[in-house]
Amino acid sequence: MKQIIGAVAFFSLLMTTVAFAATGGGDVVIKYKKGHVTFSHDSHVGMGLECTKCHAVPFTTSASHKTVTMKQMQKGASCGACHNGKAAFTVKANCTNCHKQ
């Protein structure tokens, strides 16, 4: 009985480790005229955000994601849903936080 409990505990720990290792998704580079934006899944997940906070709304996949303007973001679209000055820094005055040359 102890061997079964030990095996179940080991398997559970192994599966949890595999799940956490797959969390993230790496960096996504979005090309803009005013400087590319590199979105880091690791930094956002590392802050404790759940994947479902952004997936499936407002983002589904990079292929189906529509590019939005800064004006739309300032009204809460795309990254502006969280980067509104309340949940995270605002997109209105922090250009260099995201747009790197």
pLDDT of residue 94: 82
Give the pLDDT of residue 76: 92
Domain around 95: 24-100
Which residue has better confidence, 8 or 4? Answer: 4
Domain-located, residue 6:
no
33 found inside a domain: yes
Number of domains in the chain: 1
pLDDT, residue 63, reads: 64
Q: What is the pLDDT of residues 46-86, one digit of tens each?
A: 888 888 887 766 666 666 667 788 899 999 988 899 999 99
Q: What is the CATH number of the domain that holds 66?
A: 3.90.10.10
Q: What is the 3-state secondary structure (H, E, C) of 50-100?
A: CHHHCECCCECCCCCCCCCCHHHHHCCCHHHHCCCCCCCCCCCCCHHHHEE
Mean pLDDT of the chain: 74
Residue 98's CB: how many other CB atoms inside 10 A? 19
